[in-house]
C-alpha cells in the first residue's frame, strides 16, 4: 500500500489558527477605537477651550459648594448619635409630605453626578488638547507610570535587593549645594539659588498634581458611596445597619486602614479645592486686579483648609474614642 494514502495521525498545529484570528481581533479593536474617537470628536470637536474651562469652573463650583455643606452636616456627629441620625433622616424626608421620600435627595444626587461628569469630561478634553499641542500622546504620558509600576513589581519579585555600595572610584564627588539639582549647575561659580523656572513651590506641585488628586477623589467618592450609602461589602463594615448613620460612620472609621485612606483623600481634596477655586475665579474673570487675586487666593486656601481639617477631625475623633 502506498504510504502517502494513509491518513495522518499528527495533531494539527493550533498556532496558525491564532495567527489567522489575530489580525481580525486587531481590526475589531481598531474599529472600536475609531468609533469612540469619532464620538468624542463630535462631542467636543467644535467646543472652544474657553467654554470647556467655564464648564469646569461651573461644575467645580457646584461640587465645592456641596462639599462645604456636606462637611458642615458631618460636624453634627459631635452632637451625638440621636442628633446625627435625625440629621440623616431629615435629608431623606426633606420636602415631605408634599414630595415623596428621597425625592429631593435624588435630585441633588443627579445634579452632582452631572456636575462630576461635566468636570471629568471637560478636564479630559483639555488635557488631550494640551498633550496634542506639546506633541505628546497618551502612551507617552503613561510610559513613565508603567515604567515605575514595572520597576516596583520587579523589586517585589526580587525581594527588594540592596544595591552594593559603590567603590572609591565610583563615588560621586561631593559638591557644594547651590540650590539646583542639575549636573550643569554643580559648579562653585554657579548661582546659589535655584533657577526661577525650576522652583519647586507648593502651589506649583499642587497645580501639576491636579489630575492625580482628581483621580484619588474619584476613587474615594466611589468607595465612600459603597461604604456609607450602599453598605456594600467589603467596603462597608461588618456591623453596617441601614438607618443607623452614626453607628455606620463610627464602625467604618474605626478601621485604621479606612481612616488613613480617608485622611489621605482629604489631603488630596484640600489641594484640589484650593487650586480649583483659584483657577475657576481666574477663568471667570473674577480676579481683575492683583489685590483681588490675593483675596481669592486667601479665600480658596481658607475654604480648602477648613473642609479638609473638618473632615479629617472625624476619623481622628473616632480613633481616639472622642466619638464612639
Residue 11 maps to a domain: no
- How confident is the model at residue 310, as a pLDDT? 96
Is 167 inside a domain boundary? no
H-only helix segments in the chain: 15-44, 49-74, 81-93, 103-133, 138-157, 202-208, 210-224, 245-253, 256-283, 290-319
Which residue is it, cell 522652583? 199
Separation between Cα atoms, residue 176 and residue 55, nearest integer Å: 49
- Cα(121)–Cα(302) distance, integer angstroms: 28
Q: Which residue has the cell 557644594?
A: 176
Q: Is residue 122 part of a domain?
A: yes
Residue 60 grid cell: 467645580
| Separation of alpha carbons 225 and 232, rounded Å | 9
Position 21 in a domain? no
Asked whether residue 126 is assigned to any structural domain, the reply reads yes
Report the C-alpha gap between 222 and 226 in whole angstroms: 6
pLDDT of residue 131: 83
Enumerate residues 6+ apart whose C-beta is below 8 A from 7.
none
Cβ atoms 247, 241 nearer than 8 A: yes
pLDDT of residue 267: 95
Question: Alpha-carbon distance 64 to 68, whole Å?
Answer: 6
3-state SS record for 22-86: HHHHHHHHHHHHHHHHHHHHHHHCCCCHHHHHHHHHHHHHHHHHHHHHHHHHHHHHHHCHHHHHH
| Under 8 Å between Cβ of 251 and 304 | no
C-alpha to C-alpha distance for 318 and 74, rounded to whole angstroms: 13
- Alpha-carbon gap, residue 277 to 306, rounded angstroms: 14
Place of cell 443627579: 110
Q: Which three cell numbers, joined as nine digits, stand for 249?
A: 460612620
Sign of the four-CA dihedral 308, 314, 319, 321 = positive
Q: What is the pLDDT of residue 96?
A: 84
- pTM to 2 decimals? 0.72
The answer as to whether 123 is a domain residue is yes
Q: How far apart are CA 229 and CA 242, in angstroms?
A: 9
104-147 pLDDT per residue, tens: 999 999 999 999 999 999 999 888 888 888 777 767 766 777 77
pLDDT per residue over 213-240, tens digit each? 999 999 999 999 999 999 998 898 888 9
Asked if residue 12 belongs to a domain, the reply is: no
Domain count, the chain: 1
pLDDT in single tens digits along all 324 residues of the chain? 455 555 554 545 444 444 455 555 667 777 776 777 677 777 777 788 888 999 999 999 999 999 999 999 999 999 999 999 999 999 999 988 889 999 999 999 999 999 999 999 999 988 888 888 877 776 776 677 777 788 887 877 777 655 554 444 444 444 443 333 333 333 444 444 444 545 557 878 888 889 899 999 999 999 999 999 999 988 988 889 988 999 999 999 999 999 999 999 999 999 999 999 999 998 888 887 888 989 999 999 999 999 999 999 999 999 999 998
Per the CB < 8 A criterion, the answer to whether 228 and 248 are in contact is: yes
Smallest CA-to-CA distance from 301 within 264, 265, 276 is with 276
pLDDT value of residue 248: 94
CATH number at residue 272: 1.20.1300.10
Domain that holds residue 294: 44-145+210-320
pLDDT reported for residue 168: 45
In the block, cell 549636573 appears at 183
The pLDDT, as a whole number, for residue 162 is: 53
48 in any annotated domain: yes
Q: Would you state the pLDDT for residue 179?
A: 38
Amino acid at each position: 500500500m502506498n504510504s502517502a494514502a494513509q491518513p495522518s495521525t499528527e495533531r494539527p498545529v493550533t498556532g496558525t489558527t491564532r495567527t489567522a484570528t489575530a489580525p481580525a481581533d486587531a481590526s475589531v479593536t481598531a474599529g472600536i477605537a475609531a468609533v469612540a474617537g469619532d464620538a468624542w470628536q463630535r462631542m467636543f470637536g467644535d467646543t472652544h477651550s474657553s467654554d470647556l474651562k467655564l464648564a469646569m469652573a461651573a461644575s467645580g463650583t457646584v461640587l465645592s459648594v456641596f462639599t462645604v455643606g456636606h462637611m458642615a452636616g458631618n460636624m453634627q456627629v459631635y452632637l451625638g448619635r440621636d442628633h446625627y441620625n435625625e440629621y440623616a433622616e431629615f435629608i431623606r424626608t426633606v420636602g415631605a409630605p408634599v414630595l415623596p421620600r428621597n425625592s429631593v435627595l435624588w435630585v441633588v444626587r443627579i445634579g452632582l453626578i452631572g456636575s462630576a461628569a461635566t468636570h471629568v469630561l471637560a478636564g479630559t478634553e483639555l488635557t488631550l488638547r494640551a498633550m496634542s499641542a506639546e506633541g505628546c500622546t497618551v502612551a507617552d504620558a503613561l510610559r513613565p507610570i508603567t515604567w515605575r509600576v514595572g520597576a516596583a513589581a520587579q523589586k517585589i519579585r526580587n525581594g527588594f535587593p540592596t544595591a552594593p555600595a559603590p567603590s572609591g572610584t565610583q563615588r560621586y564627588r561631593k559638591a557644594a549645594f547651590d540650590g539646583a539639582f542639575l549636573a550643569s549647575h554643580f559648579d562653585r561659580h554657579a548661582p546659589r539659588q535655584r533657577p526661577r523656572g525650576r522652583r519647586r513651590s507648593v502651589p506649583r506641585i499642587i497645580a501639576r498634581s491636579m489630575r492625580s488628586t482628581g483621580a484619588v477623589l474619584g476613587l474615594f467618592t466611589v468607595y465612600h458611596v459603597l461604604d456609607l450609602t450602599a453598605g456594600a461589602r467589603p467596603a462597608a463594615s461588618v456591623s453596617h445597619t441601614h438607618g443607623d448613620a452614626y453607628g455606620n460612620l463610627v464602625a467604618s472609621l474605626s478601621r485604621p486602614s479606612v481612616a488613613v485612606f480617608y485622611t489621605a483623600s482629604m489631603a488630596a481634596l484640600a489641594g484640589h479645592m484650593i487650586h480649583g477655586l483659584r483657577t475657576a475665579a481666574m477663568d471667570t474673570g473674577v480676579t481683575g486686579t492683583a489685590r483681588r487675586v490675593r483675596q481669592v487666593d486667601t479665600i480658596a486656601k481658607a475654604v480648602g483648609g477648613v473642609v479638609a481639617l473638618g473632615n479629617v477631625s472625624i476619623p481622628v475623633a473616632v480613633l481616639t474614642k472622642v466619638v464612639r
